[in-house]
Structure 1
Amino acid sequence: MEYKLQMDTVLVTGASGGIGEAIARCAAAEGCVLVLVARSADKLEALAAELKAAHGVPVRALPFDLGTPGAAAALASALKRRRITVDVLVNNAGVLENAPFVKMPAARHQALIDLNVGALTGLLAALLPGMVARGHGQVLNVASIAAFQPVPMLATYAATKAYVLSLTESLAEELQGTGVTITALCPGITATGMLSGAAEANPALAGLPKFLVGNVEQVAREGWQACRSGQVIVVPGALNLAATVGARAMPKWLLRRLAGAVTRKMSGQAPD
């Protein structure tokens, strides 16, 4: 796999933990300048100090809650004021809720949409035009294998990730010949804080076999390499890749039935 090594400025959202933090480590190891964004100022500052010391690269922490209205535009304005030009955008910030759709309040559904869809789209709208004008840039949108199939108990989350995947594929074609590439990272279940939170709501998730849970460093590494090489879609893990290929080939009605049976079993709503 070949890609150009240079001191790009990389903006990583959701950088305080999980896949975002692991991608930030990949970028720092490559010698990139980093801008880290997340809600937790303390975690960002600690990570920034660690990466500066380990790799000798400039790292700036910008605490932002991208789930609030207008946050993406405010972040873009903050970057402009600081004269920060983003070469690589990593749209990783996201949230997951594991519950039946009808038991989630409307505000919670909207929160998932605002962050997973709204903030991601807002940052693309703010930063992509500059990349195209300069003829150089890369985007890594973190989606999920949930983007390829219906996922009962994760209905709104899966729908937001389907949006991310569809948008990425569309933009990949629009950006042909501009010098800008865009990649969708579609991991399966990964050992992150998000999984821990979901397991608290659904204890069955805590009992998943280890071979089904991806290593966050490996997922980040594959996503970062795919981004740097201009690959449009990357699905880490052989089982996940097989599942996504199967999901696209399977009749929709059968896919829905299988997804429903699996989630009912995991939630204790079906007999053994």
Structure 2
Amino acid sequence: MATALITGASNGIGLELSKIFARQGNDLVLVARSVDKLQTLKSDISHQYPNLKVHIMAKDLSLADAAQEVYEELKAMQISIDYLVNNAGFGDFGFFTETSWAKEQQMIDLNITALTQFTKLFARDMVKQRSGKIMNVASTAAFQPGPLMAVYFATKAYVLHLSEAVNNEVKDAGVSVTALCPGPTESGFVAAASMDDSGLIKGRKLPTSKTVAEYGYKAMMKGKAVAIHGTLNYIMANAARLTPRNWVVAIARKLQGGNL
């Protein structure tokens, strides 16, 4: 039986992906900060799928070497990972000169450092066994600079480029790396990022985490390198390549902040 490791599993897209992998008959390793939410999720999945093994690990992945600790604990339990989903991440909204450096450093450590370390550790094993799939949750934010969310947009550009490059390196070994790029999604992300005033959110009906998770799962199973959720998001992401960069930044600022 295959095993899926999902970070940020207690909320939003990560929670919905956990349910999908369980429905497909995979054992689970669920990682998030909240032990209470993880225990609730484990109880729900175990009740519905009693034959599955569900391991939970309460970890703050923004801390140094947290990914290495997870990897070593799994090795000690002789658990091999067939599917890795790097979903954990968060953003922040506001002018770069006014936002908190402590929060942004934590964001970089989680969105970039932990994701990169997880990808390296498990991709090595997958290449050796010549099978495995990785999904790194990026964002449509990866395709352009993002005034008022400068650091978040930059972290997601890193995730996109890393994923595409590593996918190219490992595909001949039977391994794939998919960068899932959703737009704004109905989840706990908006509140965590203090994005209630963002023009990207106000007055919009957002896709659900479940819808995005189902799309991402299918793309991952197909081994797609880049999966942009939503037709409009796809058009806008690709239009950024053909538009002068100063226009792209100005448009992003207008969409994000209106008159800010």
TM bin (shorter chain): over 0.9
2:227 is aligned to: 234
Alpha-carbon distance change, 77 to 33 in structure 1, aligned in 2, over 3 angstroms: same
2:241 partner amino acid: R
Match of 2:257 among 234, 240, 264: 264
Any gaps of 5 or more consecutive residues in structure 2?
none
Q: CA deviation at 1:23?
A: 0.6
Task: Name the residue aligned to 1:4.
Answer: none
Supply the distance in 1 between the matched residues of 2:107 and 2:114 (Cα, whole angstroms).
10
Contact 1:199 1:206 in 2 (8 A): no
SS in 1 for 2:168: helix
CA contact (8 A) 2:16 2:213 kept: yes
Name the CA shift for 1:203/1:116 in 2 (closer, same or farther; >3 Å). closer
Which residue of the partner structure matches residue 80 of structure 2?
85
**TM-score under structure 2 length normalisation:** 0.95
CA contact (8 A) 1:198 1:205 kept: no
In the alignment, which of 8, 28, 44 is matched to residue 22 of structure 2?
28
Q: CA deviation at 1:203?
A: 6.8
Percent identity over paired residues:
38
Cα deviation 1:155-202 (Å, max 9, x = unaligned):
000000000000011011101210111100000000001113335663
Give the 5 Å matches for 1:58-207.
Answer: 58-199=53-194, 202=197, 207=202
Instruction: State yes or no: 1:246 paired with 2:255.
Output: no
Separation in 1 of the partners of 2:131 and 2:8?
Answer: 23
Whichever residue aligns with residue 27 of structure 2, its letter is V
CA deviation profile, 1:61-85 (whole Å, cap 9, x unmatched): 1111101111111111111111111
1:219 to 2:212 alignment: yes
Task: Find out whether 1:12 has 2:2 as its counterpart.
Answer: no
Q: Does 1:39 align with 2:33?
A: yes
State the SS of the aligned residue for 1:159. Answer: helix
Q: CA deviation at 1:260?
A: 2.1
Shift of 1:86: 0.6
Structure 1 residues 109-166: Cα deviation after superposition (integer angstroms, max 9, x where no partner): 2111100000001111211111100011000000000000111111000000000000
Q: Distance in 1 between matches of 2:190 and 2:124?
A: 34
Q: Which residue identity lines up with residue 15 of structure 1 in the other structure?
A: A
In terms of fraction of residues, the more helix-rich structure is 1
Q: C-alpha separation between the residues in 2 aligned to 1:198 and 1:113? A: 14
Letter of the aligned partner of 2:150 in structure 1? A
Instruction: Give the superposition deviation at 1:105.
Output: 2.8
| Alpha-carbon distance between aligned partners in 1 of 2:218 and 2:80, rounded to the nearest angstrom | 21
Asked if 2 retains the 8 angstrom alpha-carbon contact of 1:94 and 1:112, the reply is yes
TM-score, reference length from structure 1: 0.91
Contact 1:188 1:236 in 2 (8 A): yes
Deviation of 1:106 after TM superposition, in Å, equals: 2.2
Whole-angstrom distance in 2 between the partners of 1:239 and 1:196 = 24
RMSD value over aligned CA atoms?
1.5
CA–CA distance in structure 1, aligned partners of residues 103 and 194 of structure 2? 18
Q: Against the structure 1 CA distance between its residues 256 and 200, is the aligned structure 2 distance closer, same or farther, given a 3 Å change threshold?
A: closer
